[in-house]
Chain A
Amino acid sequence: MSQQTQHRHALEIINLSIALPNGVRLLRDVSLKLEPGEVRALVGESGAGKSMIGKTVLGILPDTLKITQGEIILEGQHLNMMTPWTRRKTVAEITALIPQDPLTALNPLRKIGPQIVDPLIRIRGWEKDRARARALELLERVHIRAPERVMQSYPHELSGGMRQRILIAAAFAPSPRLIVADEPTTALDVTVQKEILKLIRELQKETGTAVLFVTHDMGVVAKISQQVTVLFAGKVMEDAPTREVFTNPAHPYTRALIAATPSSADLDRPFSPVPTELIAELHAQVARDDALWQGKKR
């Protein structure tokens, strides 16, 4: 116990499994750690379970899915052992989410201003003026050109990239200590993406915020993260420091993901998706593991 108080991870996930009501597992024994001030990239192809890990941490998993095993520990506090009320309060206090879908995450009927400001008043208990000033500050930092105007706008009056930046500003505004960023730059052009990645690094250095950065872009992984978790079919394929992943990737799936991303050496090469044979082999492996696991359970 004393060791735990000495070194508190921002987030620790231990042997997490999540299953559908019929028992089929969507996450398989996932473990990962995130230190304060660190960015951990969570990468893998569509359906790998990246968002599901984020949702579990934030306690917003749909009711139909069940945690069958494992623990989530936020700053040393075991979420599983809390009452729902305390858990919600703890999560709101420590974390913020940049949601995957910027087009539907904003309420279309409300102006942008209150959508950023209200949570600051509600969760942080700030005065209205302070909350407003903070919102404007963050909008400027995500390179929104006319923040006053944007606060007065409705979501449909803004471009896709602007909406995504607004969600990033809203997430950072309350100075959370852990941010789950679910593909936060997919709707952004590369120059704005670069600015946003820079901003995430700055804010993270300033405030020591830890970031769980969900993405499928290995280029982004190389630039933003210090640690990487590679996920396939809800299973961790590789967990290593970013530098190691790009200089000496251990897993064939990691190598395939890197090869599928255009690099400086071969910008003109045609599209090269992850080979279907490799995908089939990995699925077979996961199925074998599942069979073993079923056997053990009996």
Chain B
Amino acid sequence: MTALFSIRDLHLSFPDRGNKPLFGPAPRIEVLKGLTLDIPEGRITGIVGESGSGKSTFGRVLVRLLDPDSGQVLFDGKDIATLDEEAILPLRRDLQMIFQDPMSSLNPRHRVWRLIAQPLKRYGRGGTKAQATEALARVGLPAAFADRYPHQLSGGQRQRVGIARAIALEPRFILADEIVSGLDVSSQAQVLMLLKQLAEEMGLTVAFISHDLSVIRHLCDNVVVLNHGEIVDAGPVAEVFENPQSEVTRKLLSAIPLPEMDDDWFND
């Protein structure tokens, strides 16, 4: 299997302003501590870990929204960590992302079709209403949604628009950061089934960040478990979940609240 991303010894830190001395630069906090992994092409890779473990930071490096301190991020053989803004531009279309709340990243005064069409225009791939409507159809939204505003959509519908916007560009990679966390079980199931189906149809590579292991288990082919910026478990989903190597993964698995009465649950 070929790797779309090969990440080698990736380090990233942020300035720690809380402990900034009176003079001189602030000390830095290391958030990613030497990650090495491959993200296989055409597969869905889950990224899990406790809050603050560095999942979103890592995702942002993959789509080059953040620059690492050191290490390689090979995308299709090119090290995107070192490309300058001009050299990265042709790759931007290939690297798309969807967030937990697409509303906060979308202009609330634009109708749905414009939100989808704008990036198409920016990348010189048209940008017509017809294209937007077609993208909506692919995520199962009727054409009438093209004329709605974001606030007129339910959470699940907004996520579909977010997906439509990303896939309209026909990218090779999509980063999905907690995209179903705010949704109820039915909308979650619908969005996940849609993502899976589209990924298969389009041969997309997806990095799926989630704190919900039952979602990861159903959706992903592979999973990477982060803890304090380090990889503590990685491999095919079934293997990692049947036979977790780290205490962190075991804890994450046992903390899933099941819809059953269990008076001792809090005591473990």
Question: Which positions in A face B, CB cutoff 8 Å?
Answer: 44-47, 100-101, 103-104, 145-146, 148-153, 157, 159-162, 165, 183, 186-194, 197-198, 201, 216-223, 242-243, 246-247, 257-258, 260-264, 267-268, 270-274
Task: For the complex, give the distance between the alpha carbons of A188 and B156 in Å.
Answer: 19
Q: Is B67 at the interface (CB under 8 A from chain A)?
A: no
Tell me the number of A-to-B contacts counted with CB atoms below 8 Å.
Answer: 148
- From known contacts A271-B188, A273-B190, infer whether A149 and B211 are also in contact, taking CB-CB under 8 Å: no
**Are A152 and B17 closer than 8 Å at their CB atoms?**
yes
- Could you give, for residues 1-37 of chain B, a 1 whenever the CB lies within 8 Å of some chain A CB and a 0 otherwise? 0000000000000101111000000000000000000
Q: Which residues of B contact A103 (CB under 8 A)?
A: 100-101, 104
User: Of A188, A193, A222, A262, which is in contact with the most chain B CB atoms at under 10 Å from its CB?
Assistant: A262
Q: Which residues of B contact A272 (CB under 8 A)?
A: 189
**Are A243 and B261 closer than 8 Å at their CB atoms?**
yes
Q: Which residues of B contact A263 (CB under 8 A)?
A: 258-260
**Are B51 and A161 closer than 8 Å at their CB atoms?**
yes
- Could you give, for residues 41-61 of chain B, a 1 whenever the CB lies within 8 Å of some chain A CB and a 0 otherwise? 000000011111000100000
**Which B residue's beta carbon lies closest to that of A279?**
B186
- From known contacts A45-B187, A218-B259, A223-B257, infer whether A198 and B266 are also in contact, taking CB-CB under 8 Å: yes
Q: Which residues of B contact A192 (CB under 8 A)?
A: 50-51
- Please, could you name 6 A-B residue pairs with CB atoms under 8 Å apart, sorted by A? A190-B212, A190-B255, A197-B257, A223-B265, A271-B188, A271-B193
Task: For the complex, give the distance between the alpha carbons of A272 and B192 in Å.
Answer: 11
**Are A216 and B185 closer than 8 Å at their CB atoms?**
yes
B256 interface neighbour in A46, A187, A190, A247, Cβ under 8 Å: A190
**Are B50 and A258 closer than 8 Å at their CB atoms?**
no
**Are B189 and A260 closer than 8 Å at their CB atoms?**
yes
Could you tell me which residues of chain B, from 122 to 139, have a CB within 8 Å of some CB in chain A?
none
B217 interface neighbour in A100, A201, A268, Cβ under 8 Å: A268
A217 interface neighbour in B186, B252, B257, Cβ under 8 Å: B257
Q: Which residues of A contact B179 (CB under 8 A)?
A: none
Q: Which residues of A contact B181 (CB under 8 A)?
A: 186-187
Task: For the complex, give the distance between the alpha carbons of A126 and B153 in Å.
Answer: 42
Task: For the complex, give the distance between the alpha carbons of A246 and B257 in Å.
Answer: 13
Q: Is B201 at the interface (CB under 8 A from chain A)?
A: no
**Are B182 and A222 closer than 8 Å at their CB atoms?**
no
Closest CB in chain B relative to A243 CB, distance in Å? 6
Q: Which residues of A contact B207 (CB under 8 A)?
A: none
A260 interface neighbour in B18, B178, B186, Cβ under 8 Å: B186
**Are A264 and B51 closer than 8 Å at their CB atoms?**
no
**Are B185 and A273 closer than 8 Å at their CB atoms?**
yes
Task: For the complex, give the distance between the alpha carbons of A213 and B265 in Å.
Answer: 18
**Are B185 and A260 closer than 8 Å at their CB atoms?**
yes
Closest CB in chain B relative to A226 CB, distance in Å? 11
Task: For the complex, give the distance between the alpha carbons of A162 and B53 in Å.
Answer: 11
**Are A221 and B259 closer than 8 Å at their CB atoms?**
yes
Q: Is B162 at the interface (CB under 8 A from chain A)?
A: no
Q: Which residues of B contact A160 (CB under 8 A)?
A: 51, 56, 100, 178
**Are B252 and A271 closer than 8 Å at their CB atoms?**
no
Q: Which residues of A contact B154 (CB under 8 A)?
A: 46-47
Q: Is B183 at the interface (CB under 8 A from chain A)?
A: yes
Q: Is B109 at the interface (CB under 8 A from chain A)?
A: no
Task: For the complex, give the distance between the alpha carbons of A80 and B71 in Å.
Answer: 62
Q: Is B218 at the interface (CB under 8 A from chain A)?
A: yes
Q: Which residues of B contact A157 (CB under 8 A)?
A: 14, 17
Task: For the complex, give the distance between the alpha carbons of A1 and B48 in Å.
Answer: 55
Q: Is B262 at the interface (CB under 8 A from chain A)?
A: yes
**Which B residue's beta carbon lies closest to that of A188?**
B51
Q: Which residues of B contact A162 (CB under 8 A)?
A: 51-52
Task: For the complex, give the distance between the alpha carbons of A45 and B156 in Å.
Answer: 11
**Are B56 and A159 closer than 8 Å at their CB atoms?**
yes
Task: For the complex, give the distance between the alpha carbons of A274 and B184 in Å.
Answer: 10
**Are B257 and A46 closer than 8 Å at their CB atoms?**
no
**Are B257 and A220 closer than 8 Å at their CB atoms?**
yes
Closest 6 CB pairs of A and B: A161-B51, A149-B18, A189-B211, A219-B257, A271-B189, A273-B186
**Are A222 and B260 closer than 8 Å at their CB atoms?**
yes
Task: For the complex, give the distance between the alpha carbons of A191 and B251 in Å.
Answer: 7
**Are A261 and B259 closer than 8 Å at their CB atoms?**
yes
Q: Which residues of A contact B193 (CB under 8 A)?
A: 271
Q: Which residues of A contact B16 (CB under 8 A)?
A: 149
**Which A residue's beta carbon lies closest to that of B266?**
A198
Closest CB in chain A relative to B145 CB, distance in Å? 16
Task: For the complex, give the distance between the alpha carbons of A272 and B37 in Å.
Answer: 33
Task: For the complex, give the distance between the alpha carbons of A100 and B181 in Å.
Answer: 12
**Which B residue's beta carbon lies closest to that of A270?**
B218
Q: Which residues of A contact B68 (CB under 8 A)?
A: none
Closest CB in chain A relative to B158 CB, distance in Å? 11
**Are B185 and A101 closer than 8 Å at their CB atoms?**
no
Q: Is B63 at the interface (CB under 8 A from chain A)?
A: no
**Which B residue's beta carbon lies closest to that of A147?**
B18
